[in-house]
Amino acid sequence: MKRKIYEKLINWKNNGMKKPLMIIGARQVGKTYIINEFCNKEYKNAIQINLLNHPEIVELYKQNISLEEKYIRLCANLNINPNVEDTIIFFDEIQESEELISSLKWYCEDERPFKIICAGSLLGVKLKRFNSSFPVGKVEMINMFPMDFEEFLMTQNNGEYLIEYIKKCFLENSPMDEITHEKLLELYRKYLCIGGMPEMVEDFVSKNMNILDINRNIIEDINSAYIKDMNKFIINKTEAVKNEAIYYSIPIQIGNKSNKFQYSKIDKNARRRDYNDSLEWLLASKLVYKCCKLNSINIPPEAYKNNEFFKIYIGDVGILNTMLKMNVNDIYLNKTFLYKGEITENYVANQLMFNNVDLYYWAVASSSEIDFIIYNEDGIIPIEVKASDNTQSKSLNEYMKRFKPKYAIRISGKNFGFENGIKSVPLYATFLVKWYERFKIK
């Protein structure tokens, strides 16, 4: 399956630098698959070393010998010629060896003609609690996420055509023909059911895109593996229990009328100081994403975010629906139910994150809220999210009168268009919101 991160891997290869590359992402988002594909396609000599299968290499890097000697022994152990041109070494599950991670500085500075790429499960958590010396400035890091809706469309027979058509309508603010618009909304609802985990998408494609035939056990097993992971890289067992308690509270938290994450939803006696480390664990694992409230609508928004008031979203909408035990038909047939707005909001948060858009929101008490705020070359832009084609919004009107943004974006079931300073973006085109550098309001 095609993944957009491949272009970033190519850019890293061609940048002329020797910095090792570290891919960070949650379990099962496709890190090993895409890195292997890249290594085998782009290099004559590709060597994969999974540290889970090579405990002797983990032990080697613990030895009190020079990094040069460690590398010589590594090459001898694996029958690697260190002087062959066009060679790449892929260290998978690199979180198993802090010493090897620390040695990446040496790999960066060594003059041998090879490049290093690495990835691992819970690597973000491991680095957050790193005890060794991390090679700051000597490693390039890229975040990898589940498949966004654009990548999901790439699995369709006419996916490339649909993507180009969506981009054209997005740039021109011109409505799509109704037949294709409805078809894409149907595909969007199917995506809500399965999410963007590659194994789940692959199963969906293998079942001829019949949403009723998908194997729900796949995503349930992935989520179960996430729960098991909560016993790794923890301070103590109590923290693992807290990790799980926060994680399972999030579906309830998304619908909070208070417009913020509340520790009391975990336990009535819960306090921030008791759960802060666990929340940081979940964020570092990329299982969940944080969206901070802005105290002030000013540039840059990062300087005005409130770390005490925030929302938390599940890292994949398919996993959210699994946690909710949603009936597939209720989503696919577009039935009306109260929680639909929360699922849609989580979907939009996912699509923004997957496309490297920082998450912020704005609210005044519980009376007015803007779901997301983005910062681009046109300034600070509000984004309103609607689960259907009902586009009435008191909050967005209030925001526009108060802050007078250059324009606003409304993501909903409505077709493309631009009216009264609001750019209408259908839910299936959310992945393009980052595309502001090619989109100008006249």
pLDDT tens profile 46-68: 999 999 999 999 999 999 999 99
Q: Report the SS3 class of residue 52.
A: coil
- pLDDT top residue among 390 and 442: 390
CA distance 358 to 349: 9
Chain centroid offset of residue 26 CA? 8
Strand order in 360-364's β-sheet?
305-314, 288-294, 360-364, 368-376, 379-385, 408-412, 422-426, 417-419
- Tokens 């022994």, located at residue: 73
Q: Is the peptide bond before 300 cis (omega within 30 degrees of 0)?
A: yes
- For 234-292, write each residue's pLDDT tens digit: 888 889 999 999 999 999 888 777 778 888 888 888 788 889 999 999 999 999 999 99
Strand pairing report for 114-119 and 360-364 = unpaired
CA distance 122 to 243: 14
Chain centroid offset of residue 218 CA? 19
Q: Report the SS3 class of residue 161.
A: helix
pLDDT at 436: 53
Phi, psi of 386, rounded to the nearest 5 degrees? -125, 140
Q: What is the DSSP string of 282-329?
A: HHHHTSEEEEEEESS--SSGGGGEEEEEEEEEES-HHHHHHHTT--HH
CA distance 152 to 187: 9
In the predicted model, what is the mean pLDDT of residues 29-53? 95
pTM of the model: 0.94
Exposed, middle or buried, 393 (CB in 10 Å: 0-12/13-18/19+)?
A: buried
pLDDT at 319: 97
Q: Name every residue whose Cβ is closer than 8 Å to that of residue 99 and which is 6 or more positions away in sequence.
A: 61, 62, 132
- For 164-214, write each residue's pLDDT tens digit: 999 999 999 999 999 999 999 999 999 999 999 999 999 999 999 999 899
